[in-house]
Structure 1
């Protein structure tokens, strides 16, 4: 397959062959970073660390306990 740049709305797009996407774990909705380097465009899967995610937790977006219903079986809380 020879991908070509196509107009998609007000943007440009390139279809990524499924075999290439699977090779690096890309799926629909996967967040990516784009970088321009000389005459190349580099697409990298966005990776998050636990520290990055936890740094975004604030008292304003921290939720309380969630009731999951009555006990079933021998759960001990």
Structure 2
């Protein structure tokens, strides 16, 4: 367990996370985290949010197969659109 000190950061307070702890949890600069407070125990917990996977168009298109591809759907014409 590490001891840290709350310090003023603008109008808020900030706590620095030691490097070894950040490395163990996979926390980098800019990592979004959920903050929970257990008021009875006076305990604050931080849980890193899992980063969303970034997809490329070529990755998504490579997953299309004849088995998972649906047929064209005709929704008809509504109004004066030209299709």
TM-score tier after normalising by the smaller chain length: 0.5 to 0.7
The offset of 1:6, in angstroms, is: 0.8
TM superposition outliers: structure 1 runs of 4+ over 6 Å = none
- Which residue is equivalent to 1:41? 44
Aligned pairs, number? 52
Please give the secondary structure, in 2, of the residue aligned with 1:35. strand
Larger radius of gyration: 2
Unaligned runs of 5+ in 1: 51-64, 66-77
CA distance in 2, matches of 1:42, 1:11: 17
**CA RMSD in angstroms, aligned pairs only:** 2.3
The TM-score, its normalising length taken from structure 2, stands at: 0.54
